[in-house]
Amino acid sequence: DTDLPWKDARLEIRRLLGLGGESSKVAVKLTCLYREKNDIGDGHEYPMYLYMGGEYAWAIKAYEEFTQKLLADPASGDHVHAFICMTSCYSYFDEFQKAVETLNTAMTRLPEPPWRIARQADIHDGFGDVLAKMELTDKAKQHYAEAARLYPQSNQPYGQHLLKRRAGKVQSKLDLLDYRSLLADTLKDGTYNARALGYSGDKDLMITLTVWAGEITDIKIDHAEKIDQGATTIIPQRIIAKQSLEVDAITGATVTCDGIRDGVFRALKQAGLE
């Protein structure tokens, strides 16, 4: 019911995005309807929901418009997340120079304490993602390491209990950078279990991996992710098909994707991966 206010609509949009597939298209349409009637808060959720709905080119246009307004208003507040999401969209299209420029701009828009340290960590994490995709592994490691160092130092007024978890997620990315391809003949047949950090703070990702005849034949994930864009189904399928962890992530669910790959990596080490 589009007569309901935005505070109700945004909850329905997030529910639809969590379902993925055709529901994401409905979520994008609903977002646009509320934008047309100018009932969409401060507007930051318009490009964000396009991004989460898989409309990456459209999201870039919307983010460029939104961030230009931010840059023109010194008192616009803390919107570092918008720059980071725009970076992910550029990176999706391998527009790495624009991605790096956007993160550099974000560094000039850091909020005042007590959120400054956490946002610096977020940006370093974003740099790590872009540089890893560019295969500049050493530079990516430096930024991931800096993000992992900064998160525990944040003196933010709430969410302190999540900082260790966020540092752990970045450390998982560091671990995966040393990994390139699976060597099937090194894997021992059997079923292996591992735990990894996902997006939800309520429950870790619980990975059950099966190896048969030296190949990954099944990956099951027990999780409590609310908006995973189908990652908990799609990413295991891609890993099995390629017999590799080097599979494309799903934009809008990168934290969940990284968690799945990290959990599978931990299980594979139990199976003899060197």
Question: Is the pLDDT reported for residue 253 higher than 90?
Answer: no
Determine the average pLDDT of the residues in 263-270.
92
Is 162 in contact with 201 (CB distance < 8 Å)? yes
Query: Phi/psi of residue 227, each to 5°?
Result: -125, 95
Contacts of 43 (CB under 8 A, 6+ apart): 35, 66
Q: Inform me whether the pLDDT recorded for 184 exceeds 80.
A: no
Residue spans of alpha helices (H) in the chain: 6-19, 22-36, 45-52, 56-72, 80-92, 96-107, 116-133, 137-150, 163-177, 231-242, 254-270
- H helix or E strand, kind and range, residue 194: strand 190-196
**Is there a contact between 89 and 60 (Cβ–Cβ < 8 Å)?**
yes
Beta-carbon contacts of residue 206 (< 8 Å; ≥ 6 apart)? 193, 195, 221, 222, 223, 263
Average pLDDT, the chain: 91
pLDDT exceeds 60 at position 69:
yes
Give every strand in the sheet of 205-212, ordered side by side. Answer: 190-196, 205-212, 215-222
Give the pLDDT score at 241: 93
**Residue 181 confidence (pLDDT):** 53
Please state the rounded mean pLDDT for residues 142-163.
94
Provide φ and ψ at 211, rounded to 5°.
-115, 130
pLDDT of 252: 67
Most confident among 22-31, 169-178, 182-191 (mean pLDDT): 22-31
Average pLDDT of span 238-261? 85
What span, in angstroms and rounded, lies between the C-alpha atoms of 243 and 230? 20
> Does the pLDDT value for residue 35 go beyond 90?
yes
Closest CA to 150 of 185, 179, 183, 115: 115
Q: What is the pTM of this model?
A: 0.83
Cα 265 from Cα 209, distance rounded (Å): 10
- 204 — alpha (psi -120 to 50), left (phi > 0) or beta? beta
**Residue whose entry in the numeric block shows the structure tokens 């130092």:** 153
CB atoms within 10 A of CB 158: 7
Q: What tokens were used for 27?
A: 């979520």
Binning pLDDT at 50, 70 and 90, where does residue 80 land? Answer: very high
